Amino acid sequence: MSRTCTLLITIADPTALLAMYGASDPTAAERTAFRRAEKQYKLYKPLNLKGRSRSKPSGGEGGGADLSAVVDFHALLAADGELPAGIGRRDCAGFDRPVFCFLDRPGFYFIPGALSTEEQCCWIMESLKTFPQPPNRTNLTAIYGSISDLLIAAKNQKILVEAENPDIQERNEQNNCGGKTESKYFKFVDSESQKGEEHRSTAATTLVRKLRWSTLGLQFDWSKRNYDVSLPHNKIPDALASLAKKMAIPAMPSGEEFKPEAAIVNYYGPSDMLGGHVDDMEADWTKPIVSISLGCKCIFLLGGKIRDEVPTAMFLRSGDIVLMAGEARECFHGVPRIFTDQQEISALISQLSSGDDVFILDYIKNSRININIRQVY
């Protein structure tokens, strides 16, 4: 069974989550060092007097967890002093940003504050407006088919309703098609126009909050766990490809250029986590995954080649970029929690507040977006 699992999941039954991680024995996986670290840092909802979890968890700093061992590369950069044991700096010709690494994890590189606030805002907007657009697929595609202009619909308070396609319906009637037909589809309409109507409907704002992933470039088939070149797709947007090529330089073999061919965008809500996994579906592991963090801060766990190796925890903030190439591609990694402390993203909030996009501003106050770009072949 492949060890790759980049599905974003909402915290639920731990045994079910481990099955999604690819663990053949969930009970045994519960005892691994990586799983213990996930439990240590994940967000636990506070209990009310009746012993039930409150619906709104506290996303502030710590939330009861001991964060003293979490590596903070921004603090190390600001201190500009001697680095802790096991952490080094990577000097790279032609690359003008600071790059940190772990001496025992070859191929892993951390670039703190790689993107300006303006760049972060740009990619947040693209992630919500452009990246979920067909032919790109999302976690919603299997349920509703291709959905266009989701962000615009959400801003305009529209709802998604199930409707009949007149052309297909007429064709089915002419052909005397019995049983279930393919005449139904989903479309956005004004909520006022549906008053009194009996339709299955979902608010567009709800669907934006239900976004968990979208795929750009070559499309990843989650059911087959590989890239399906037969699926319709557009190439990676030029601006994103150019950024990925530039940021990949510290992890690239000498004289080679990164070729962005696919990307997976993960969308995190306040209680979401990304279980421990290994990204092993690309052909050449010497080429890095370029991972861009946007929005709320998170804890990132970097383990070893087996789940029983104790992972290192570090903070990932908006604008940080992580590279994983070579041996680091074989390391288990995941995100056990995000922090919805608005102080951490005050620059983002200020920048977005100066525009007229209130919806995106409200979204990013308690969300995280991760864009990871890959060279498939």
Q: Where along the chain do its domains lie?
A: 33-41+67-136+212-374, 140-166+183-207
Q: Which residues pair with 277 in a beta bridge?
A: 333
3-state secondary structure of 120: helix
- What pLDDT does residue 26 have? 54
For residue 22 the two structure tokens come to 């690819």
pLDDT of residue 276: 95
| pLDDT score recorded for residue 224 | 78
Whether 277 has a binding-site annotation, put simply, is: yes
What's the pLDDT at 15? 40
Of residues 150, 212, 215, 232, the one with CA closest to residue 187: 150
Least confident stretch, 10-24, 172-186, 241-255, 302-316: 10-24
Beta bridge partners of 184: 164
Residues pairing with 163 in the sheet: 185
Please tell me the CATH superfamily of domain 33-41+67-136+212-374, with its number: Alpha-ketoglutarate-dependent dioxygenase AlkB-like (2.60.120.590)
CB atoms within 10 A of CB 114: 21
Q: Looking at residue 280, what is its pLDDT?
A: 86
Measure the CA dihedral 90/92/95/96, to 10°: 60
Q: What per-residue confidence (pLDDT) applies to 47?
A: 55
User: Residue 252: which H helix or E strand, with range?
Assistant: none
Residues 363 and 204: their CA atoms lie apart, in Å, by 13
Q: Average per-residue pLDDT in the chain?
A: 85
pLDDT on residue 172: 45
**In this structure, what token pair is assigned to residue 42?**
């994940």
Mean pLDDT lowest for which of 95-109, 111-125, 138-152, 168-182?
168-182
| pLDDT per residue as tens digits for the range 26-69 | 565 568 999 999 999 987 765 555 555 444 444 556 566 899 99
Stated length of the chain: 377
199 is in an annotated binding site: no
Looking at the whole model, is its pTM more than 0.75? yes
Is pLDDT larger for residue 1 or for residue 330? Answer: 330
pLDDT above 90 covers what percent of the chain? Answer: 68
pLDDT cut 70: percent of the chain above it: 79
The burial class, CB within 10 Å (0-12 / 13-18 / 19+), for 365 is middle
What angle, 0 to 180 degrees and rounded to 10, lies between the N-to-C axes of helices 346-353 and 117-129? 70
Q: If we measure between CA atoms, which residue out of 3, 62, 18 comes closest to residue 277?
A: 3
| Structure tokens given for 124 | 């947040």
Spatial contact of 140 and 211, defined as CB atoms under 8 Å apart: yes
- Mean pLDDT, range 336-362, rounded to an integer: 91
What are the residues facing 301 on neighbouring strands? 313, 334
What is the per-residue pLDDT for 329?
Answer: 96
Rounded to an integer, the average pLDDT of 248-258 is: 94
Helix/strand/coil percentages in the chain, nearest 5? 30, 25, 45
pLDDT at 166: 59
Tokens 């999604």 appear where? 20
Q: How far apart are CA 316 and CA 194, in angstroms?
A: 43
Structure tokens at 307: 């789940």
Phi/psi of residue 323, each to 5°? Answer: -115, 135
For residues 196 and 70, the model is more confident at 70
pLDDT value of position 198: 60
Confidence band, pLDDT 50/70/90 cuts, at residue 4: very low
Residue 233 marked in a binding site: no
- In three-state secondary structure terms, 206 is helix
pLDDT at 248: 97
Q: Are 129 and 151 in contact (CB under 8 A)?
A: yes
- Residue 357 confidence (pLDDT): 82
Q: What is the mean pLDDT of residues 200-228?
A: 90
Of 28-32, 70-74, 174-178, 362-366, which gets the smallest average pLDDT? 174-178
Convert the pLDDT of each residue in 259-279 to its tens digit: 999 999 999 999 999 999 999
Helix (H, G, I), strand (E, B) or coil at 350: helix
| 7 pLDDT tier (thresholds 50, 70, 90) | very low
Question: 101 exposed, middle or buried (CB, 10 Å; 0-12, 13-18, 19+)?
Answer: buried
Distances (CA, A) of 233 to 40, 109, 306: 40, 30, 34
pLDDT in tens, 79-129: 988 999 999 999 988 899 999 999 999 999 999 999 999 999 999 999 999
Q: State residue 163's pLDDT score.
A: 80
Going by C-beta distance under 8 Å and a sequence separation of 6 or more, which residues neighbour residue 148? 133, 134
Confidence of residue 355 (pLDDT cuts 50, 70, 90): confident
With bands split at pLDDT 50, 70 and 90, how would you rate the model's confidence at 364? Answer: very high
Residue 249 has pLDDT above 90, yes or no: yes
Beta strand 333-339 pairing with 368-374: unpaired
